[in-house]
């Protein structure tokens, strides 16, 4: 099993193989994303009952919560790619890292905006310097820092190693975001889905929330595959496999 994984890992690191692999999966992933999104939004916006405390305004969680989860998940993907770049110097990992950054920044921005819209009726203000909100804002700056640093260095292999280090160092912010509501006094709502005993959210709300979380993950994969394919074509434009690709 381990040998098979190592073989698969090195094969996926080949730009032409990954380009074809991603292209073959994109149509199927688009169908899955559409089904999950329609089911999740219908369940969350139509079928789920109003919250007994927050009324209808709670429905923003079906966008806000999955976006917040994705903001942290994508950064962990980037940090993992950063380790691969520094240890094995795999070109594809470098491409995945930098292509993930704009997507992660978008999800982080979406989480901050929807959180502010939810905070106005709940807290009476769009923004407070709460531990969860502040650490999420720092995460957005980390994403923008990765994008800016990569663009500031002309030699892209050097830039790849630089952003790999930044992504790994920035990982310290992820547990701060996750545990901020436990470590400090916070206005932000505590964990409801990831509690150790059982989620303190009714299944009529939980199911569409999880469907939307899956939908956002599939969207990330679709967007990542498209960005990586475009970046590979740009980087490998003088290679034989790209020439053969456009001749076929």
Decide if 153 is inside a domain. Answer: yes
Decide if 171 is inside a domain. Answer: yes
Q: Read off the pLDDT of residues 214-237 as tens digits, 9 standing for 90 and up.
A: 999 999 999 999 999 999 999 999
Into how many domains does the chain fold?
1
Q: What is the pLDDT of residue 151?
A: 96
Host domain of residue 59: 14-247
Q: Read off the pLDDT of residues 170-191 as tens digits, 9 standing for 90 and up.
A: 999 999 998 877 765 555 555 5
Q: Read off the pLDDT of residues 75-126 as tens digits, 9 standing for 90 and up.
A: 999 999 999 999 999 999 999 999 999 999 999 999 999 999 988 887 788 8
Specify whether the CB–CB gap between 75 and 143 falls below 8 A.
yes
Kindly report the three-state secondary structure assignment for every residue of 83-99: HHHHHHCCHHHHHHHHH
Measured at the CA of 194, the angle between CA 108 and CA 79, to 5 degrees, comes to 45
Decide if 55 is inside a domain. Answer: yes
Quickly state the pLDDT bin for 202 (edges 50, 70, 90). confident
């Amino acid at each position: 099993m381990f040998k098979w994984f190592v073989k698969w890992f090195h094969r996926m690191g080949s730009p032409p193989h990954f380009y074809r692999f991603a292209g073959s999966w994109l149509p199927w992933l688009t169908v899955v994303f559409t089904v999950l999104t329609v089911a999740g939004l219908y369940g969350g916006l139509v079928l789920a009952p109003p919250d007994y405390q927050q009324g209808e305004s709670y429905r923003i969680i079906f966008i806000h919560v999955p976006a917040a989860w994705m903001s942290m998940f994508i950064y962990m993907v980037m940090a993992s790619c950063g380790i691969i770049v520094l240890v094995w110097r795999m070109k594809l990992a470098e491409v995945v890292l930098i292509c993930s950054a704009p997507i992660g920044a978008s999800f982080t921005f979406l989480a901050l905006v929807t959180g502010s819209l939810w905070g106005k009726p709940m807290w009476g203000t769009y923004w407070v310097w709460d531990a969860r909100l502040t650490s999420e804002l720092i995460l957005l700056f980390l994403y923008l820092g990765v994008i800016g640093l990569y663009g500031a260095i002309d030699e892209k292999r050097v830039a790849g190693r630089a952003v790999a280090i930044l992504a790994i160092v920035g990982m310290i912010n992820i547990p701060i975001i996750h545990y901020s509501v436990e470590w400090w006094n916070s206005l932000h709502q505590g964990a409801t889905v990831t509690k150790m005993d059982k989620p303190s959210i009714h299944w009529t709300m939980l199911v569409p929330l999880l469907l939307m979380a899956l939908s956002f993950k599939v969207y990330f994969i679709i967007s990542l595959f498209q960005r990586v394919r475009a970046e590979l074509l740009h980087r490998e434009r003088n290679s034989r496999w790209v020439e053969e690709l456009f001749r076929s």
